[in-house]
A and B are shown apart, each in its own frame.
Chain A
């Protein structure tokens, strides 16, 4: 509950300047009064309006600060935003200094022009607070001008977009799309590489939270953000590849500044990458003899060719990092060992690779034909890598509804299965797998059994011969609105199969961490972390990726790697993890749902998205070569033009300076 003094939001005007102090309580606003616990927010400026909490705030100064950010971020292509942001910024700056270059009426005309006629979200929204202030609180502004030069204020501005906020790694999506449109795919890749090194990998297998948030959906379809990412990342294969190398590290640190990363999966690689860029000496200890983690073993090569992943994990070596393969935590070393070897901090990115059992009668991992999802993908990986040969025949039943289940089913087909069934206890709409993955599996002839659940494993002479399943039905929604499912009595039947793959979930391998390591677990058997900074129960040890969150996505893992690298850098340099003002800004925006999914009011010409050229399902289901191909430059240009650049600027005025380089 936040008490505001005056302001406007979505056209509604609040004015409690002449009322009792508690009159302006706006229940809709949550947790906005404090930026951090010692720093009060005096005013907030956004795309839909502004709130002033402290009547002594200088509006002119606050609006000027917001416009500085807009002018810095304006791409400069369209006329009103290019000139408008600068003219308004300079006019407000003059007013702030007690001078007057443009009249308030002129400023209003410019702000209106920019808002009404700019090409993208940046220009259309960055002057809305200003317009609202000029139209509703001109008396405040006039009074400020009357008083002369404005007092110095503290604060920060933050520009974002729905897709950026949706991305766990906060990749600046509109910018990297814009760079493609500009004809600079290498700059586009540069934007992605600021967040993680595995761009081509992400461009193939990301679950695309960004596309779910994309406002282009309000016109036709979401922009093919992942497709474009893959396009720019694939420029790295060939003569136009950008060079990495040690010169990228601006300030190399001394030889004692060493960090150990345990696990060479996406979280570990991402963390190591950022620490290396910060100048640290990083060793990645990996139990297997190659890098990539789940991206390597858990994603089949028809979706992510191994050489693509390899070229991206090699960036670590190019930056001077070391992979120490064949070293497993718990078997070959303990966390104490790491500290005693001189590592200043440890990042645990050990994943969770132990398959969760189905928990049904007759289930026994020792049965021939019984596999866990993750175990099966490992077999497939070794088969494709050529280290072992294995094959499957007869019918295969995969239990589960996530991407791992889809990967298992499509891989089983390629390994020679005669028929593949997917058994999932809820409906298709409930499936956590990507809809594209489900579509692809259907196209390849995989049979889905929705609202079906295994109840018993059938085996003869130690071999699986089938699985007994039952129909399920939805129950009434519970208090949280989610429907449960229950078995329909009397619908039990046998589904004959020679292979049963349980792909319903994973947990951290038992035996990796022992009580002496001093790392606490949560109730899901994952490493317990403080989600703000990824610190564990043991000082100097941080954890991220699947081992901290349970099985999750590549992009979450890489985002964790970045977050952990910042925490580790702070912890080593300062002995504590610093406050992150941008994270706090995001928290304010998200908790108050500031980024509205507002309608697209002016009609936009529909242009449907490009699709990857794909191999024919009849051909591809027999092979492990990549199914999707990179789009052409022409297609990339066309797709990039679909982005509407829904940038929004937010800024706060605070009581004290915002720490940690706002």
Chain B
């Protein structure tokens, strides 16, 4: 890709023709890019501009081209063919339209046709394109071919259904180039071509960290979370159960667009109303858990600083935990032992909350709504289940929550907002609110640590030096007192994360505290957020701004000033990092590195299986 940039560095303009109209094309641009600049629609499936992905596999974006010196016209794919001076492009000739239609028909020949059961129904790029090309027949469809394609449902979090895959390779690209995990590979050949996990491993046992960015780019229902809306409904409708629902900081700013509200709208109040309509008995806020995490993690960090133990990595992102356990187990001792806000809320909802409210803990079920797929992995970690009782019973992604509301015919847009009413675990500070975006955990932690060290609040609570958006950012903050200057770093996205982890292991990184969020942008763009057709992370900045706006408007902006958190310590835990706090709010990590050695024999067997006459 660096190579490409060099070529396109000096842009020249020249004239060409699309559909009879003279256009000014830019050197290095494809027919598709030029057509889009002129508002000319060409159907595409595999291409995704936001991640510079043009594998040219679907062959749907066909156009008729005639080069200036050519003696006849050719069909070409608009996504891969460069504009040329004097090129004549036709996007809607009868031949082009017919071939686009046939291409989609061929694409459907081994594609699961059971649209009604698909998680992507109605929001599917393939359905859109099929409509555009006017698909009316499906002559080549063969259910046996569909049945032969694999479904990997081994994981508690991410389901990979190849019966709906159109071989666009976007997931491979985002895993490889976007996140740098590179665990998705192309498997098989011919009809068996699919996307699989490296070394033929299952989703559950692979090096995948379930960040879910692949789901965000998938044009169909091939990739998605394990749908647990039924489990959640069953709990909410069960009169014997008390359902406790929490939702994450980022959910409230990444949900309204599903119901026609502008992206980035804060719909916290409407979500609370919707949850009560659905039958949730108690609505808690994960933001409260975030404030609590700051108390625990901040205290832990101050201990580490006093012991000169550095660096400490944050621990609230479950895909990051997966990444550390799967890829760099040697750094696990550097991870904060504090559980994530989700798990802190979950464990206290089954201990502290029933004690305060005088209810039977056995009747409690905790559902959390998260912008994240890896939270489903986290919820089933054996460290986080006690005597067979999980801290969290069901994790719904933002997408599942949207599906649930649609199933129950609840239109969020029409709901009157309401407020949290739980007196124990729903209040939050501005610090808790910004947990959902990169740098937020760090900023929240520093606000509280400054207070602990100096006995007074920071004069300016907004730490602008932390608020950039680069993949890796670092800053030096003077905490004063006995601690003095601390060096902090924030990473979002796993490619920058790998860089900083490598630097820490190599001894070239000089940091005290490192915040990691596996998804680019942080939880606001998490793998469980709403999908956008033909776009990748289009609303990142809007969601982030809204979170900072919530912080700004809060009367209380520091976690340690959250009165409900103070009450928890006063009435139940004692003080941060107390024995009881350790028992309930801290966890441990295990080495789950994937080490594979393959033999030449295995490789040869695989090659021969795919290509018979080798």
The chain A residues found within 8 Å of chain B, CB to CB, are 69, 71-80, 82-87, 109-110, 113, 116-119, 157, 159, 172, 175, 181-184, 186-187, 189-191, 193-194, 239, 241-245, 247-248, 601-610, 633-634, 637-638
Quick one: CB contact mask for B516-533 with A, threshold 8 Å, 1 for yes? 000000000000000000
- The complex places the Cα of A500 from the Cα of B515 at a distance, in Å, of 65
Q: Are A244 and B110 in contact (CB under 8 A)?
A: no
Our pick among A80, A172, A608, A637 for the contact of B176 (Cβ within 8 Å) is: A637
Indicate whether B3 reaches chain A with its CB closer than 8 angstroms.
yes
- The complex places the Cα of A183 from the Cα of B181 at a distance, in Å, of 11
**Given A72-B611, A76-B189, A118-B59, A83 contacting B106 (CB threshold 8 A):** yes
Our pick among A194, A602, A603 for the contact of B614 (Cβ within 8 Å) is: A194
Quick one: CB contact mask for B429-450 with A, threshold 8 Å, 1 for yes? 0000000000000000000000
Hey, which chain B residues are within 8 Å of A637, CB to CB? 176-177
Q: Are B84 and A603 in contact (CB under 8 A)?
A: yes
Indicate whether B156 reaches chain A with its CB closer than 8 angstroms.
no
Our pick among A113, A245, A608 for the contact of B3 (Cβ within 8 Å) is: A608
A243 → chain B closest CB, angstroms: 4
- The complex places the Cα of A72 from the Cα of B56 at a distance, in Å, of 21
Indicate whether B102 reaches chain A with its CB closer than 8 angstroms.
yes
Q: Are A605 and B600 in contact (CB under 8 A)?
A: no
The chain B residues found within 8 Å of chain A, CB to CB, are 1-4, 6-7, 28, 30, 55-60, 62, 65, 67, 70, 74-77, 80-82, 84, 87, 99, 102-103, 106-107, 109-110, 140, 167, 169, 172, 176-177, 182, 184-193, 198, 595, 597-601, 603-604, 606-607, 611-614
Closest to B595 in A: A239
Q: Are A248 and B55 in contact (CB under 8 A)?
A: no
- The complex places the Cα of A465 from the Cα of B110 at a distance, in Å, of 78
- The complex places the Cα of A233 from the Cα of B302 at a distance, in Å, of 48
Q: Are A245 and B599 in contact (CB under 8 A)?
A: yes
Our pick among A113, A182, A602 for the contact of B76 (Cβ within 8 Å) is: A602
Q: Are B59 and A119 in contact (CB under 8 A)?
A: yes
Q: Are B613 and A243 in contact (CB under 8 A)?
A: no
**Given A77-B57, A602-B76, A190 contacting B600 (CB threshold 8 A):** yes
Our pick among A72, A117, A243, A610 for the contact of B190 (Cβ within 8 Å) is: A72
B81, B595, B613, B614: which has the most chain A beta carbons within 10 Å? Answer: B613
Q: Are A244 and B190 in contact (CB under 8 A)?
A: no
Contacts A/B (CB < 8 Å), 15 sampled? A72-B611, A77-B57, A78-B59, A78-B167, A82-B190, A84-B106, A119-B77, A182-B185, A243-B598, A243-B599, A602-B74, A603-B65, A604-B80, A605-B81, A633-B182
Q: Are B601 and A247 in contact (CB under 8 A)?
A: yes
Hey, which chain A residues are within 8 Å of B167, CB to CB? 76-79, 82
Hey, which chain A residues are within 8 Å of B597, CB to CB? 239, 241-243
Our pick among A79, A184, A190, A607 for the contact of B4 (Cβ within 8 Å) is: A607
Hey, which chain B residues are within 8 Å of A181, CB to CB? 186
Closest to A248 in B: B601
Our pick among A86, A117, A243, A248 for the contact of B191 (Cβ within 8 Å) is: A86
- The complex places the Cα of A368 from the Cα of B598 at a distance, in Å, of 54
Our pick among A76, A247, A605, A638 for the contact of B599 (Cβ within 8 Å) is: A247
Q: Are A607 and B3 in contact (CB under 8 A)?
A: yes
Hey, which chain B residues are within 8 Å of A113, CB to CB? 99, 102-103, 106
**Given A602-B65, A602-B74, A76 contacting B193 (CB threshold 8 A):** yes
A451 → chain B closest CB, angstroms: 37
Closest to B81 in A: A603
Closest to A243 in B: B599
- The complex places the Cα of A95 from the Cα of B151 at a distance, in Å, of 35
Hey, which chain A residues are within 8 Å of B99, CB to CB? 113, 116-117
B141 → chain A closest CB, angstroms: 11
Closest to B109 in A: A83
Hey, which chain B residues are within 8 Å of A245, CB to CB? 599, 601
- The complex places the Cα of A5 from the Cα of B130 at a distance, in Å, of 46
Hey, which chain B residues are within 8 Å of A71, CB to CB? 190
Hey, which chain A residues are within 8 Å of B67, CB to CB? 603
Q: Are A76 and B188 in contact (CB under 8 A)?
A: yes
Hey, which chain A residues are within 8 Å of B601, CB to CB? 245, 247-248
Our pick among A80, A184, A601 for the contact of B74 (Cβ within 8 Å) is: A601
B59, B601, B606: which has the most chain A beta carbons within 10 Å? Answer: B59
Closest to B188 in A: A76
Closest to A610 in B: B3
**Given A77-B55, A638-B3, A109 contacting B102 (CB threshold 8 A):** yes
- Apart from A74-B189, A242-B598, A607-B4, 14 more pairs, CB < 8 Å: A75-B189, A77-B55, A77-B57, A77-B167, A83-B106, A116-B74, A116-B75, A157-B613, A182-B185, A182-B187, A190-B606, A601-B70, A605-B28, A607-B7
- The complex places the Cα of A577 from the Cα of B99 at a distance, in Å, of 51
- The complex places the Cα of A435 from the Cα of B55 at a distance, in Å, of 33
Chain A to chain B: the 3 pairs with minimum beta-carbon distance, closest first: A76-B193, A183-B185, A182-B186
**Given A83-B106, A116-B99, A159-B613, A183 contacting B600 (CB threshold 8 A):** no
- The complex places the Cα of A610 from the Cα of B7 at a distance, in Å, of 13
Our pick among B84, B184, B190, B611 for the contact of A175 (Cβ within 8 Å) is: B611
Our pick among B58, B70, B87, B186 for the contact of A79 (Cβ within 8 Å) is: B58
A285 → chain B closest CB, angstroms: 26
Hey, which chain A residues are within 8 Å of B103, CB to CB? 79-80, 113, 117
Q: Are B599 and A244 in contact (CB under 8 A)?
A: yes
- The complex places the Cα of A445 from the Cα of B595 at a distance, in Å, of 47
- The complex places the Cα of A159 from the Cα of B613 at a distance, in Å, of 9
Closest to B1 in A: A638
Our pick among A74, A80, A87, A248 for the contact of B59 (Cβ within 8 Å) is: A80
**Given A82-B190, A113-B103, A602-B76, A183 contacting B184 (CB threshold 8 A):** yes
